[in-house]
Structure 1
Amino acid sequence: MRYEDQRPPAAVLFDALGVDYEKAFAGAPAHRSALEWLIERLPPTARTLDVGSGTGRPTAAALVEAGHTVLGVDVSPVMVELAARQVPEAEFRRADIRDLPLDADSLDGVCVFFSLLQMTRAEQSALVRRLTLALKPGGHLVLATVPADVEDVEVVFMGRPVRATSFAEDDFTGMAEDAGLTVLARHSTVFAPDHPGAAPEPHLFLHCRRDEPGR
Protein backbone atom coordinates (compact mmCIF):
# COMPACT_ATOMS: atom_id res chain seq x y z
CA MET A 1 0.00 0.00 0.00
CA ARG A 2 1.31 3.45 -0.87
CA TYR A 3 2.01 5.88 1.98
CA GLU A 4 -0.62 8.28 0.59
CA ASP A 5 -3.25 5.53 0.69
CA GLN A 6 -2.67 5.10 4.45
CA ARG A 7 -3.38 8.73 5.28
CA PRO A 8 -6.76 10.45 5.61
CA PRO A 9 -7.77 12.16 2.33
CA ALA A 10 -7.60 15.53 4.06
CA ALA A 11 -3.93 14.93 4.92
CA VAL A 12 -3.12 14.14 1.29
CA LEU A 13 -4.92 17.26 0.08
CA PHE A 14 -3.44 19.71 2.56
CA ASP A 15 0.06 18.28 2.40
CA ALA A 16 -0.08 19.14 -1.29
CA LEU A 17 -1.55 22.62 -0.78
CA GLY A 18 0.75 23.74 2.02
CA VAL A 19 1.27 27.48 2.29
CA ASP A 20 -0.83 28.06 -0.87
CA TYR A 21 -3.91 27.44 1.29
CA GLU A 22 -2.92 30.23 3.66
CA LYS A 23 -2.31 32.62 0.79
CA ALA A 24 -5.73 31.81 -0.68
CA PHE A 25 -7.86 32.00 2.47
CA ALA A 26 -6.09 33.84 5.30
CA GLY A 27 -7.45 37.20 4.19
CA ALA A 28 -11.13 36.20 4.38
CA PRO A 29 -12.89 39.07 6.22
CA ALA A 30 -15.61 36.87 7.73
CA HIS A 31 -13.01 34.47 9.14
CA ARG A 32 -11.19 37.33 10.83
CA SER A 33 -14.47 38.76 12.12
CA ALA A 34 -15.39 35.41 13.66
CA LEU A 35 -11.99 35.27 15.33
CA GLU A 36 -12.43 38.77 16.74
CA TRP A 37 -15.89 37.83 18.03
CA LEU A 38 -14.43 34.82 19.85
CA ILE A 39 -11.45 36.68 21.28
CA GLU A 40 -13.71 39.39 22.69
CA ARG A 41 -15.55 36.73 24.70
CA LEU A 42 -12.62 34.70 26.02
CA PRO A 43 -11.39 35.11 29.59
CA PRO A 44 -7.74 36.10 30.13
CA THR A 45 -5.22 33.36 29.26
CA ALA A 46 -7.99 31.14 27.90
CA ARG A 47 -7.45 27.53 26.86
CA THR A 48 -8.40 27.20 23.20
CA LEU A 49 -8.51 24.49 20.55
CA ASP A 50 -8.06 25.10 16.82
CA VAL A 51 -9.49 22.14 14.87
CA GLY A 52 -7.84 21.80 11.47
CA SER A 53 -5.22 24.39 12.36
CA GLY A 54 -3.53 24.49 8.95
CA THR A 55 -0.53 26.82 8.77
CA GLY A 56 -1.41 28.47 12.08
CA ARG A 57 -2.45 31.68 10.36
CA PRO A 58 -4.65 33.51 10.97
CA THR A 59 -6.40 31.55 13.74
CA ALA A 60 -3.72 30.32 16.14
CA ALA A 61 -1.63 33.43 15.54
CA ALA A 62 -4.51 35.73 16.50
CA LEU A 63 -5.32 33.71 19.62
CA VAL A 64 -1.70 33.71 20.78
CA GLU A 65 -1.38 37.42 20.11
CA ALA A 66 -4.41 37.96 22.36
CA GLY A 67 -2.64 36.12 25.20
CA HIS A 68 -4.33 32.73 25.01
CA THR A 69 -3.07 29.16 25.11
CA VAL A 70 -3.62 27.31 21.82
CA LEU A 71 -3.61 23.66 20.86
CA GLY A 72 -3.82 23.25 17.10
CA VAL A 73 -4.74 19.86 15.64
CA ASP A 74 -4.33 18.88 11.99
CA VAL A 75 -4.00 15.61 10.06
CA SER A 76 -1.47 17.11 7.63
CA PRO A 77 2.19 16.82 8.71
CA VAL A 78 3.11 19.55 6.25
CA MET A 79 0.59 21.91 7.82
CA VAL A 80 1.70 21.04 11.36
CA GLU A 81 5.34 21.73 10.46
CA LEU A 82 4.43 25.07 8.88
CA ALA A 83 2.28 26.07 11.85
CA ALA A 84 4.93 25.18 14.42
CA ARG A 85 7.44 27.32 12.55
CA GLN A 86 5.09 30.26 12.00
CA VAL A 87 3.42 30.32 15.43
CA PRO A 88 6.00 28.83 17.84
CA GLU A 89 4.09 30.09 20.90
CA ALA A 90 1.25 27.62 20.21
CA GLU A 91 1.28 23.82 20.45
CA PHE A 92 0.48 21.90 17.28
CA ARG A 93 -0.26 18.21 17.11
CA ARG A 94 -0.59 15.96 14.08
CA ALA A 95 -3.71 13.96 14.85
CA ASP A 96 -7.17 13.13 13.60
CA ILE A 97 -9.53 15.13 15.79
CA ARG A 98 -12.04 12.28 15.55
CA ASP A 99 -9.61 10.11 17.55
CA LEU A 100 -8.16 12.71 19.92
CA PRO A 101 -9.31 12.41 23.55
CA LEU A 102 -10.95 15.60 24.82
CA ASP A 103 -11.45 16.30 28.50
CA ALA A 104 -14.92 17.46 29.48
CA ASP A 105 -15.35 21.09 30.55
CA SER A 106 -11.70 21.86 29.78
CA LEU A 107 -11.75 24.54 27.06
CA ASP A 108 -12.74 28.18 27.02
CA GLY A 109 -12.92 28.47 23.23
CA VAL A 110 -12.92 26.29 20.12
CA CYS A 111 -12.42 27.17 16.45
CA VAL A 112 -13.62 24.89 13.66
CA PHE A 113 -12.97 26.66 10.37
CA PHE A 114 -13.88 24.51 7.34
CA SER A 115 -12.36 21.35 8.83
CA LEU A 116 -15.46 19.11 8.73
CA LEU A 117 -16.01 18.90 4.99
CA GLN A 118 -14.21 15.60 4.44
CA MET A 119 -16.12 13.84 7.22
CA THR A 120 -19.45 12.09 6.90
CA ARG A 121 -22.50 13.84 8.31
CA ALA A 122 -22.57 11.39 11.22
CA GLU A 123 -18.91 12.12 11.96
CA GLN A 124 -19.46 15.87 11.79
CA SER A 125 -22.40 15.65 14.18
CA ALA A 126 -20.53 13.39 16.61
CA LEU A 127 -17.47 15.62 16.61
CA VAL A 128 -19.41 18.81 17.27
CA ARG A 129 -21.12 17.06 20.20
CA ARG A 130 -17.70 16.08 21.61
CA LEU A 131 -16.35 19.60 21.14
CA THR A 132 -19.38 21.03 22.92
CA LEU A 133 -18.81 18.76 25.90
CA ALA A 134 -15.13 19.76 25.94
CA LEU A 135 -16.15 23.41 26.33
CA LYS A 136 -16.61 24.78 29.79
CA PRO A 137 -20.20 25.90 30.43
CA GLY A 138 -20.36 29.43 29.12
CA GLY A 139 -17.53 28.75 26.66
CA HIS A 140 -17.71 29.81 23.02
CA LEU A 141 -17.19 28.05 19.70
CA VAL A 142 -16.98 29.39 16.17
CA LEU A 143 -17.92 26.99 13.43
CA ALA A 144 -17.60 27.53 9.68
CA THR A 145 -18.43 25.46 6.62
CA VAL A 146 -19.31 25.63 2.96
CA PRO A 147 -23.08 25.10 3.18
CA ALA A 148 -24.52 22.68 0.61
CA ASP A 149 -26.90 19.74 0.67
CA VAL A 150 -24.30 17.23 -0.55
CA GLU A 151 -22.94 13.89 0.60
CA ASP A 152 -19.68 12.39 -0.64
CA VAL A 153 -19.55 14.30 -3.92
CA GLU A 154 -16.41 15.03 -5.89
CA VAL A 155 -15.55 18.71 -6.18
CA VAL A 156 -12.50 20.56 -7.43
CA PHE A 157 -10.79 22.55 -4.68
CA MET A 158 -7.87 24.78 -5.61
CA GLY A 159 -7.40 22.74 -8.73
CA ARG A 160 -7.47 19.36 -6.98
CA PRO A 161 -10.28 16.79 -6.88
CA VAL A 162 -11.63 16.07 -3.42
CA ARG A 163 -14.71 14.40 -2.00
CA ALA A 164 -16.87 16.56 0.24
CA THR A 165 -19.92 16.32 2.48
CA SER A 166 -21.87 19.20 3.98
CA PHE A 167 -25.29 20.40 5.13
CA ALA A 168 -27.65 23.07 3.89
CA GLU A 169 -27.53 26.22 6.06
CA ASP A 170 -30.56 25.46 8.23
CA ASP A 171 -29.54 21.83 8.70
CA PHE A 172 -26.01 22.81 9.69
CA THR A 173 -27.39 25.24 12.25
CA GLY A 174 -29.71 22.52 13.51
CA MET A 175 -26.79 20.11 13.83
CA ALA A 176 -24.95 22.61 16.04
CA GLU A 177 -28.04 23.17 18.20
CA ASP A 178 -28.63 19.42 18.51
CA ALA A 179 -25.06 19.11 19.79
CA GLY A 180 -25.94 21.36 22.72
CA LEU A 181 -24.78 24.73 21.41
CA THR A 182 -26.75 27.95 21.40
CA VAL A 183 -26.26 29.65 18.05
CA LEU A 184 -25.99 33.32 18.93
CA ALA A 185 -25.47 34.53 15.37
CA ARG A 186 -24.95 33.18 11.90
CA HIS A 187 -23.33 34.93 8.99
CA SER A 188 -23.47 33.93 5.32
CA THR A 189 -21.12 35.34 2.73
CA VAL A 190 -19.40 34.50 -0.55
CA PHE A 191 -15.61 34.50 -0.63
CA ALA A 192 -13.30 34.40 -3.63
CA PRO A 193 -10.02 32.70 -2.64
CA ASP A 194 -6.81 34.25 -3.94
CA HIS A 195 -5.83 31.30 -6.11
CA PRO A 196 -6.15 30.66 -9.87
CA GLY A 197 -7.64 27.20 -9.29
CA ALA A 198 -10.30 28.36 -6.82
CA ALA A 199 -13.78 29.68 -7.54
CA PRO A 200 -15.95 31.90 -5.31
CA GLU A 201 -17.69 29.78 -2.66
CA PRO A 202 -20.42 30.31 -0.07
CA HIS A 203 -19.28 30.42 3.55
CA LEU A 204 -21.40 30.02 6.68
CA PHE A 205 -20.12 31.10 10.10
CA LEU A 206 -21.89 30.17 13.33
CA HIS A 207 -21.10 32.02 16.56
CA CYS A 208 -22.02 29.65 19.36
CA ARG A 209 -22.00 29.25 23.14
CA ARG A 210 -22.34 26.28 25.42
CA ASP A 211 -24.82 27.55 27.95
CA GLU A 212 -24.45 26.91 31.64
CA PRO A 213 -26.91 24.41 33.14
CA GLY A 214 -30.30 25.95 33.71
CA ARG A 215 -29.59 29.00 31.60
Structure 2
Amino acid sequence: MNERHAGKIVAHYERHASDWDADRRSCGWNDKKWHDRFVALLHNGARVLDLGCGGGMPVACNVVAHGMWVTGVDSSPSLIALCRERLPDQEWIVADMRGLRLPRVFEGILAWDSYFHLDPVDQRSMFEVFAAHARQGTILMFNTGPTFGEAVGSYRGDPLYHSSLDPSEYRQLLARYDLELIDHSIEDPQVGGRTVWLARGR
Protein backbone atom coordinates (compact mmCIF):
# COMPACT_ATOMS: atom_id res chain seq x y z
CA MET A 1 0.00 0.00 0.00
CA ASN A 2 2.78 2.45 0.88
CA GLU A 3 4.45 1.83 -2.47
CA ARG A 4 1.22 2.78 -4.23
CA HIS A 5 0.92 6.01 -2.23
CA ALA A 6 4.60 6.87 -2.76
CA GLY A 7 4.01 6.87 -6.50
CA LYS A 8 1.26 9.48 -6.20
CA ILE A 9 3.27 12.27 -4.59
CA VAL A 10 3.91 14.17 -7.84
CA ALA A 11 0.22 14.24 -8.75
CA HIS A 12 -0.72 15.06 -5.16
CA TYR A 13 1.31 18.28 -5.08
CA GLU A 14 0.04 19.45 -8.45
CA ARG A 15 -3.56 18.77 -7.45
CA HIS A 16 -3.20 20.67 -4.17
CA ALA A 17 -0.66 23.27 -5.30
CA SER A 18 -2.64 26.37 -4.35
CA ASP A 19 -3.66 24.90 -0.99
CA TRP A 20 -0.12 23.84 -0.12
CA ASP A 21 1.20 27.28 -1.01
CA ALA A 22 -1.48 29.09 0.98
CA ASP A 23 -1.02 26.84 4.01
CA ARG A 24 2.76 27.25 3.95
CA ARG A 25 2.45 31.03 3.91
CA SER A 26 -0.25 31.25 6.57
CA CYS A 27 0.98 28.80 9.21
CA GLY A 28 4.05 30.75 10.29
CA TRP A 29 7.67 29.91 9.57
CA ASN A 30 8.53 27.63 12.45
CA ASP A 31 11.56 26.13 10.69
CA LYS A 32 13.33 29.45 10.05
CA LYS A 33 16.00 28.61 12.61
CA TRP A 34 17.60 26.03 10.33
CA HIS A 35 17.28 28.14 7.20
CA ASP A 36 19.07 30.99 8.95
CA ARG A 37 21.81 28.50 9.79
CA PHE A 38 21.98 27.34 6.17
CA VAL A 39 22.35 30.81 4.63
CA ALA A 40 24.88 31.83 7.30
CA LEU A 41 27.20 29.12 5.96
CA LEU A 42 27.06 30.56 2.43
CA HIS A 43 28.52 33.70 0.89
CA ASN A 44 26.82 36.54 -0.92
CA GLY A 45 26.18 35.51 -4.51
CA ALA A 46 26.21 31.79 -3.74
CA ARG A 47 24.19 29.50 -6.00
CA VAL A 48 21.59 27.36 -4.23
CA LEU A 49 19.77 24.34 -5.64
CA ASP A 50 16.34 24.04 -4.02
CA LEU A 51 14.94 20.54 -4.64
CA GLY A 52 11.19 20.46 -4.10
CA CYS A 53 11.01 24.23 -3.91
CA GLY A 54 7.20 24.45 -3.81
CA GLY A 55 5.94 27.97 -4.43
CA GLY A 56 9.17 29.59 -3.25
CA MET A 57 7.71 30.99 -0.03
CA PRO A 58 9.35 31.34 2.40
CA VAL A 59 12.52 29.33 1.71
CA ALA A 60 13.64 30.49 -1.74
CA CYS A 61 12.56 34.05 -0.98
CA ASN A 62 14.78 33.98 2.10
CA VAL A 63 17.77 32.72 0.11
CA VAL A 64 17.33 35.49 -2.46
CA ALA A 65 16.89 38.10 0.29
CA HIS A 66 20.36 37.12 1.51
CA GLY A 67 21.89 38.00 -1.86
CA MET A 68 22.06 34.49 -3.32
CA TRP A 69 20.82 32.88 -6.52
CA VAL A 70 18.29 30.08 -6.59
CA THR A 71 17.69 27.28 -9.04
CA GLY A 72 14.39 25.80 -7.91
CA VAL A 73 13.17 22.38 -8.99
CA ASP A 74 9.67 21.04 -8.44
CA SER A 75 7.50 18.47 -10.19
CA SER A 76 4.43 20.73 -9.99
CA PRO A 77 4.03 23.16 -12.91
CA SER A 78 1.56 25.19 -10.84
CA LEU A 79 4.04 25.67 -7.98
CA ILE A 80 6.85 26.58 -10.38
CA ALA A 81 4.53 29.15 -11.97
CA LEU A 82 4.15 30.79 -8.55
CA CYS A 83 7.93 30.87 -8.17
CA ARG A 84 8.36 32.53 -11.55
CA GLU A 85 5.81 35.15 -10.61
CA ARG A 86 7.39 35.89 -7.23
CA LEU A 87 11.06 35.66 -8.16
CA PRO A 88 11.30 36.15 -11.94
CA ASP A 89 15.06 36.73 -11.91
CA GLN A 90 15.79 33.26 -10.55
CA GLU A 91 15.86 29.92 -12.39
CA TRP A 92 12.85 27.59 -12.09
CA ILE A 93 12.64 24.08 -13.51
CA VAL A 94 9.68 21.70 -13.70
CA ALA A 95 11.29 18.32 -13.08
CA ASP A 96 11.35 15.28 -10.84
CA MET A 97 14.36 15.75 -8.58
CA ARG A 98 15.13 12.03 -8.68
CA GLY A 99 16.33 12.28 -12.27
CA LEU A 100 17.96 15.71 -12.11
CA ARG A 101 21.28 16.08 -13.90
CA LEU A 102 22.20 19.74 -14.37
CA PRO A 103 25.60 20.49 -15.97
CA ARG A 104 26.85 22.54 -13.02
CA VAL A 105 27.45 22.48 -9.29
CA PHE A 106 26.12 24.65 -6.47
CA GLU A 107 27.39 26.15 -3.23
CA GLY A 108 24.19 25.13 -1.42
CA ILE A 109 21.66 22.32 -1.86
CA LEU A 110 18.31 22.10 -0.09
CA ALA A 111 15.84 19.21 -0.02
CA TRP A 112 13.50 20.56 2.62
CA ASP A 113 10.06 19.08 3.33
CA SER A 114 10.41 17.20 0.03
CA TYR A 115 13.05 14.47 0.36
CA PHE A 116 11.01 12.64 3.00
CA HIS A 117 8.23 11.97 0.46
CA LEU A 118 10.54 9.60 -1.46
CA ASP A 119 10.50 5.89 -0.75
CA PRO A 120 13.62 4.33 0.82
CA VAL A 121 15.09 3.19 -2.51
CA ASP A 122 14.77 6.67 -4.01
CA GLN A 123 16.13 8.29 -0.86
CA ARG A 124 19.29 6.25 -1.22
CA SER A 125 19.70 7.06 -4.92
CA MET A 126 19.14 10.79 -4.27
CA PHE A 127 22.62 10.94 -2.79
CA GLU A 128 23.94 10.52 -6.33
CA VAL A 129 21.92 13.59 -7.30
CA PHE A 130 23.29 15.53 -4.32
CA ALA A 131 26.86 14.51 -5.16
CA ALA A 132 26.48 15.32 -8.87
CA HIS A 133 25.60 18.93 -8.02
CA ALA A 134 28.05 19.46 -5.17
CA ARG A 135 31.70 20.37 -4.89
CA GLN A 136 34.12 20.80 -2.02
CA GLY A 137 32.48 23.12 0.52
CA THR A 138 28.90 22.75 -0.77
CA ILE A 139 26.36 22.98 2.06
CA LEU A 140 23.59 20.36 1.99
CA MET A 141 20.51 20.49 4.21
CA PHE A 142 17.57 18.08 4.19
CA ASN A 143 15.06 16.70 6.67
CA THR A 144 13.83 13.17 7.32
CA GLY A 145 11.97 11.08 9.82
CA PRO A 146 13.66 10.10 13.11
CA THR A 147 13.82 6.32 12.47
CA PHE A 148 13.45 3.81 9.64
CA GLY A 149 9.89 3.38 8.45
CA GLU A 150 7.06 4.42 6.15
CA ALA A 151 3.84 6.24 7.01
CA VAL A 152 0.76 7.42 5.16
CA GLY A 153 -0.93 10.50 6.57
CA SER A 154 -3.43 12.72 4.81
CA TYR A 155 -3.75 16.22 3.42
CA ARG A 156 -7.17 17.63 2.52
CA GLY A 157 -8.59 14.13 2.35
CA ASP A 158 -5.82 12.68 0.14
CA PRO A 159 -3.25 10.14 1.36
CA LEU A 160 0.20 11.63 1.85
CA TYR A 161 3.24 9.37 1.96
CA HIS A 162 6.44 9.82 4.02
CA SER A 163 9.39 7.54 4.68
CA SER A 164 12.73 7.55 6.40
CA LEU A 165 15.90 5.53 6.51
CA ASP A 166 17.61 4.72 9.77
CA PRO A 167 19.88 7.53 11.04
CA SER A 168 22.89 5.20 10.82
CA GLU A 169 22.23 4.72 7.11
CA TYR A 170 22.07 8.47 6.47
CA ARG A 171 25.44 8.79 8.17
CA GLN A 172 26.83 6.02 5.97
CA LEU A 173 25.46 7.67 2.82
CA LEU A 174 26.90 11.04 3.75
CA ALA A 175 30.31 9.48 4.32
CA ARG A 176 30.14 7.44 1.09
CA TYR A 177 29.47 10.56 -0.96
CA ASP A 178 32.12 12.70 0.74
CA LEU A 179 29.68 14.81 2.72
CA GLU A 180 30.81 15.73 6.22
CA LEU A 181 28.05 16.00 8.81
CA ILE A 182 28.03 19.43 10.44
CA ASP A 183 24.95 19.07 12.62
CA HIS A 184 21.99 16.78 13.13
CA SER A 185 18.86 17.29 15.22
CA ILE A 186 16.25 14.64 15.94
CA GLU A 187 12.66 15.87 16.13
CA ASP A 188 13.76 19.41 16.96
CA PRO A 189 10.90 20.92 19.01
CA GLN A 190 11.83 24.43 17.87
CA VAL A 191 11.07 23.62 14.22
CA GLY A 192 7.89 21.61 14.42
CA GLY A 193 9.55 18.32 15.35
CA ARG A 194 11.59 18.05 12.16
CA THR A 195 14.65 15.81 12.02
CA VAL A 196 17.37 17.81 10.27
CA TRP A 197 20.68 16.96 8.58
CA LEU A 198 23.26 19.64 7.75
CA ALA A 199 26.41 18.62 5.89
CA ARG A 200 29.30 20.00 3.85
CA GLY A 201 31.08 18.59 0.78
CA ARG A 202 34.64 17.48 1.37
Instruction: Give the match's secondary structure for 2:111.
Output: strand
What is the count of residue pairs matched by the alignment?
Answer: 193
> How far is 1:40 from its partner?
1.3
> How far is 1:157 from its partner?
3.5
> How far is 1:168 from its partner?
3.8
List aligned pairs for 1:34-113, cutoff 5 A: 34-103=34-103, 106-113=105-112
- 1-side partners of 2:30 and 2:153: how far apart? 24
- 1-side partners of 2:156 and 2:174: how far apart? 28
Instruction: Give the match's secondary structure for 1:147.
Output: coil
Change (3 A) 1:125 1:180: farther
Query: Does 2:198 correspond to 1:207?
Result: yes
> How far is 1:95 from its partner?
0.5
> How far is 1:173 from its partner?
4.0
Instruction: Give the match's secondary structure for 1:117.
Output: helix
Instruction: Give the match's secondary structure for 2:107.
Output: strand
Matched to 2:139, the amino acid is: H
Once the two structures are superposed, what CA deviation does each residue of 1:96-130 show, in whole Å capped at 9, x if it has no partner? 112221336x2110111021233222221221232
Equivalent residue, structure 2, for 1:145: 144
Query: Does 2:154 correspond to 1:166?
Result: no
Equivalent residue, structure 2, for 1:18: 17
Matched to 2:198, the amino acid is: H
Where in structure 2 are there 5+ consecutive unaligned residues?
Answer: 1-6
Q: Identify the structure with the greater helix proportion.
A: 2
Equivalent residue, structure 1, for 2:3: none
Query: Does 2:187 correspond to 1:186?
Result: no
Identity among equivalent pairs (%): 21
Change (3 A) 1:37 1:158: farther
Equivalent residue, structure 1, for 2:133: 134
Change (3 A) 1:175 1:159: farther
- 1-side partners of 2:20 and 2:174: how far apart? 26
- 1-side partners of 2:155 and 2:173: how far apart? 25
Equivalent residue, structure 2, for 1:28: 29
Change (3 A) 1:176 1:158: farther
Q: Normalising by the residue count of structure 1, what TM-score does the alignment of the two structures yield?
A: 0.78
Over aligned residue pairs, what C-alpha RMSD do you find? 2.4
Once the two structures are superposed, what CA deviation does each residue of 1:177-209 show, in whole Å capped at 9, x if it has no partner? 4332111111232489xxxxxxxx741111110
Instruction: Give the match's secondary structure for 2:122.
Output: helix
Once the two structures are superposed, what CA deviation does each residue of 1:12-33 show, in whole Å capped at 9, x if it has no partner? 1112222332343453333x22
Matched to 1:150, the amino acid is: G
> How far is 1:79 from its partner?
0.9
Matched to 1:29, the amino acid is: N
> How far is 1:172 from its partner?
3.5
Q: Normalising by the residue count of structure 2, what TM-score does the alignment of the two structures yield?
A: 0.83
- 1-side partners of 2:29 and 2:177: how far apart? 27
- 1-side partners of 2:154 and 2:107: how far apart? 35
* Residue range with higher mean Cα deviation, 14-23 or 73-82: 14-23
